[in-house]
Structure 1
Amino acid sequence: MTETPDLSIRPATEADLPAIVALLADDPLGATRESPDDLAPYAAALRRLTDDPHQHVVVAVRGERVVGTLQLTIVPGLSRRGATRSIIEGVRVHTDERGSGLGTRFIEWAVDRSREEGCRLVQLTSDVTRTDAHRFYERLGFTPSHVGFKLQL
């Protein structure tokens, strides 16, 4: 996928799940939602995602260590004259890597992949408490244009 001598971005595998789940759980929000001691639901989810050509779960690897992850979903649609859009989710960068440029490389990868998939729009959501992330996305050209709603099922 994307490689430099010290870093590669590649599709996630089941062997990556312990590191991915640790990244997802490594903040105040994730700590309440994730269960790193039970990887079975994550393995089932990764299999579903891997089987779906509209889903791309990737990891960033430096050396042998997973240092980041994200999910890119391609969504065909009718609105915007039948435009396809992408959704970036679950962006996580290891605390040791923050400020290294990895987050920017991740988002650039997702935008480039979205273009390759014929997307006309890239969107993402970010919890209202993640103000540092909001500033980061705005620096990369994203605009806070919508109000999001969720319904827990």
Structure 2
Amino acid sequence: MATTDQELEQAGVRLGKLLQEQGRTIATAESCTGGWVAKVLTDRAGSSAYVMAGLVTYSNSAKQALLGVSADSLEQHGAVSEPVVRQMVAGAVQAAGVDVAVAISGVAGPGGGSPDKPVGTVWFAWGSGLDQTEAVVKHFDGDRDEVRRQSVLFALQVVTGFLEGA
């Protein structure tokens, strides 16, 4: 089933309310989603109270320059990997001075996949720094838009869960 605009909106509103209730701030560090998580969060009026930054670091050089991702991690593991998304979270927390960040890097397609990272492979990390970060890989079905929509929804949901458990 395709992820709808309404589902994205509802997840964004839920996370936004939670951030506001807890007095926390967030930044996003996005690659394959191109800023879509930040877009959903900032669709709500008053979101400037909790959304501090949305960093679209699509290229490896941007991941290094803006988020401090190490060249070694990119070379050894590739951009779509656990070490890279963990470093993206830490870099976003530091760059934006926020309480929590979420990072996404994946292969949305239709090309770019490989046997070990096929189209639909997306790594996520979320947390408040390198040593306080959770990460997981997901494999989504569908075309580019569907992979990206599922990624945005998943990111919003895992940060909500993280903050509910904090």
TM-score range, shorter chain: under 0.3
Return the structure number with greater helix share.
2
TM-score normalized by structure 2? Answer: 0.26
Structure with greater Cα Rg: 1
Return the structure number with greater strand share.
1
